[in-house]
């Protein structure tokens, strides 16, 4: 057993997209019920009510897609999965969204420590000599869910949360396209003072995230690769 509670001898199961379609509505609904039951406004209960939704993206040289399996892509994707597994606990969920995207659900997440998981995902893949040698870069985008104190996002629309994590991960990519980095969002300090339905808040985040952050409805974390994580 590692110091962080993970067991290196247990391989984290890998969910495919079909499995995520069944599993994710349940995860969203459960997080909503816990938030309403515990009272998400209380800071001491946030760890018990929050889940992290992490999207890890990989890109080949010149920000292109990873090569096909028969041209070495299989080994690169296997290394990407291995790195992500090493960064997560065996109680978390790891899935494949596409040939260059992995998706993770991290349970019992303390929101203000959510960046640590993102750092571990980036560090685990950056340490791979195979990925570095192939010119593969990674970025991460994530949400700490629920995003409001009255969570009512339709669970069956969970892919919109994945899309939001993807959009967040691409912020600033034109400035540092190859740097392992990304962004994460969570509910802001003024979240309890607003009555915007969560589904509307997600739509607004696609349109003007900066305004929501400025108003304190959401918080934005910027992630850069750091050593030692």
Burial string for 93-127 (b: 16+ CB within 10 Å, else e) reads bbbbbeebbbbbbbbebebeebbbbbbbbbbbbbe
Residue with token string 């929050």:
50
With bands split at pLDDT 50, 70 and 90, how would you rate the model's confidence at 181?
Answer: confident
Cis peptide before 47 (omega within 30 of 0): no
188: domain CATH number is 3.30.70.270
Q: What is the mean pLDDT of residues 176-202?
A: 85
In the chain, % of residues over pLDDT 70: 83
Q: Is position 91 within any domain?
A: yes
Q: How many domains does the chain have?
A: 1
Q: Is position 206 within any domain?
A: yes
30-49 residue pLDDT tens = 999 988 876 554 555 455 67
Check residue 157 and give left, alpha or beta (phi > 0: left; psi -120 to 50: alpha): alpha
The range of the structural domain enclosing residue 184 comes to 14-224
Q: Is position 8 within any domain?
A: no
Q: Is position 1 within any domain?
A: no
45-88 residue pLDDT tens = 455 679 999 999 998 876 677 888 888 889 999 999 999 999 99
Q: Is position 2 within any domain?
A: no
Beta bridge partners of 94: 14, 104
Q: How far apart are CA 182 and CA 173, in angstroms?
A: 9
What is the value of pTM for the model shown? 0.88
Q: Is position 6 within any domain?
A: no
Beta bridge partners of 58: 138
Distances from the Cα of 59 to the Cα of 29, 90, 149, 197, angstroms? 32, 26, 36, 35
Query: What integer pLDDT is reported at residue 24 of this predicted model?
Result: 96
């Amino acid at each position: 057993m590692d110091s962080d509670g993970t067991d290196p001898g247990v391989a984290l199961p890998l969910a495919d997209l079909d499995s995520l379609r069944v599993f994710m509505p349940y995860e969203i609904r459960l997080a909503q019920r816990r938030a309403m039951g515990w009272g998400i406004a209380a800071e001491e209960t946030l760890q018990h009510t929050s889940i992290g939704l992490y999207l890890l993206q990989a890109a080949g040289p010149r920000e292109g897609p990873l090569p096909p399996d028969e041209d070495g892509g299989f080994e690169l994707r296997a290394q990407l999965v291995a790195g992500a597994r090493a960064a997560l606990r065996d109680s978390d969920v790891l899935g494949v969204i596409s040939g260059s995207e992995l998706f993770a659900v991290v349970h019992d997440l303390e929101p203000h420590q959510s960046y640590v998981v993102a750092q571990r995902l980036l560090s685990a893949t950056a340490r791979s000599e195979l990925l570095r040698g192939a010119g593969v870069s990674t970025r991460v985008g994530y949400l700490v869910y629920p995003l409001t104190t009255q969570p009512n996002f339709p669970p069956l629309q969970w892919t919109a949360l994945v899309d939001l994590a993807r959009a967040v991960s691409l912020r600033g990519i034109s400035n540092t396209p190859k740097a392992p980095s990304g962004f994460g969002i969570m509910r802001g300090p003024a979240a309890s003072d607003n009555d915007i339905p969560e589904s509307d808040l997600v739509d607004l985040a696609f349109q003007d995230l900066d305004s929501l952050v400025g108003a304190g409805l959401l918080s934005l974390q910027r992630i850069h690769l750091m050593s030692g994580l």
